[in-house]
Amino acid sequence: QFKAEYKNVTTPLTPEHNLQIRPLHLEDYDKGYLDLLKQLTTVGDVTREEFVDRFQKMKACPDTYYIVVIEDLKSGQIIGSATLVKEQKFIHHLSSRGRVEDVIVSDLYRGKELGKLLVDILVCLSQQLNCYKVSLECKDDNLKFYCQFGFERTPGQNFMQQRF
């Protein structure tokens, strides 16, 4: 589904790395997917049943959730992931906005440009899906990382939130 022929996509995944990039599967519950997300933020104790239920609810929204994972085929563990959410709009003549979310690479696999690969893919995918723009929220420390993909801070625009 995600082909290396997309423009600008780097491909560090040679066979000797034993890494595979693919969409999230239900079975990834047993491959440490949620433990990986715990390196990003709070996840809590999510049972298999709860995971399956949420997975199926996402799947039931066609053309909306694109969750990409990297599996280390040697260990059978998910070691990287990123999500593109395609939000449908009325504006821009019924266009869609892409949101890059939950980008995480296991601390044991950092420095191999896997985060770059994940973000490259999602940016390409958002273009392929005809989003009129793609955006994300990140910490100051990660600004430089995201700038390399063409993301820019928007003058006069602020990211605001209310936490519950």
Is 113 an interacting residue with respect to ligand 16G (CB under 6 A)?
A: no
Q: Is 125 in the site for ligand 16G (CB under 6 A)?
A: no
If one asks whether residue 136 binds ligand 16G (CB under 6 A), the answer comes out as yes
- Tell me, by CB under 6 A, how many residues bind ligand 16G: 10
| Complex with ligand 16G: residue 10 or 39, whichever CB lies closer | 39
122 binds ligand 16G (CB under 6 A): no
Contacts of 155 (CB under 8 A, 6+ apart): none
Q: Whose Cβ is closer to ligand 16G: residue 73's or residue 138's?
A: 138
* Residue whose C-alpha is closest to residue 84's, from 97, 101, 96, 71: 101
Q: Are 67 and 81 in contact (CB under 8 A)?
A: yes
User: Binding residue for ligand 16G (CB under 6 A) from 19, 84, 103, 124?
Assistant: 103
Q: Where are the alpha helices (DSSP H) in the chain?
A: 33-37, 48-59, 91-94, 114-128, 143-147
Interface with ligand 16G, residue 102, by CB under 6 A: yes
SS3 83: strand
Residue whose beta carbon is closest to ligand 16G: 41
The DSSP H or E segment spanning 65 is strand 65-72
26 is an interface residue for ligand 16G by CB under 6 A: no
Residues in the site for ligand 16G, rule: CB under 6 A? 40-42, 100-103, 136-138
